Amino acid sequence: MVVSRAIAALAGIVALFTLTQCFTEKQNQGKRLYEANCQSCHMEDGSGLRGVIPPIAGADYLQKHREELPCLIRHGLEGSIVVNGVEYNQPMPGAMSLREDEITNLLNYIQTNFGNNNERYTFPEVEQLLQACPPGK
């Protein structure tokens, strides 16, 4: 009886530790994805590259084009855009390999960091917006 309780307690501790690690990894996934896919152009602080790469930090584009952002992340961007009143015309590569949940976490990281305090995305919302991407995008 004592041995089975000890085994059950040990199994519970292992399960709790494993679950905690899973949630911690998901919690930091948006930041890791930003660092791997976006930071080299948009910079560590989200400031972009003056006159060439638009900022993410305090960017009005994030609110004005909310429904387009999942497609922009997945398929990239060609052509000019205006961010905080400044026109940018530098192609942005897409991240086709990112899954819907990763795009959701990446967008939520961008939406709530770099001085941004924008509405977070839900997974179903991102999934729906990605299905609605224009043809060829």
pLDDT tens digit sequence for 53-62: 999 999 999 9
Q: How far apart are CA 91 and CA 100, in angstroms?
A: 22
- 30-131 topology per CATH: Cytochrome Bc1 Complex; Chain D, domain 2 (1.10.760)
Alpha-carbon distances of 64 from 2, 67, 81, 82, 84, rounded to whole Å: 62, 8, 12, 10, 11
Q: What pLDDT is attached to residue 134?
A: 76
Beta bridge partner(s), residue 53 = 49
DSSP, collapsed to helix, strand or coil, labels residue 82 as strand
Q: Where are the domains of the chain?
A: 30-131
pLDDT tens digit sequence for 7-24: 655 555 555 554 444 445
Q: What pLDDT is attached to residue 21?
A: 43
Model confidence, pTM:
0.79
| Backbone torsion region of residue 128, taken as left when φ is above 0, otherwise alpha when ψ lies between -120 and 50, otherwise beta | alpha
Q: How far apart are CA 6 and CA 21, in angstroms?
A: 23
Segments in the chain below pLDDT 70: 1-26, 135-137
Residue 73 CA, chain-centre distance (Å), reads 9
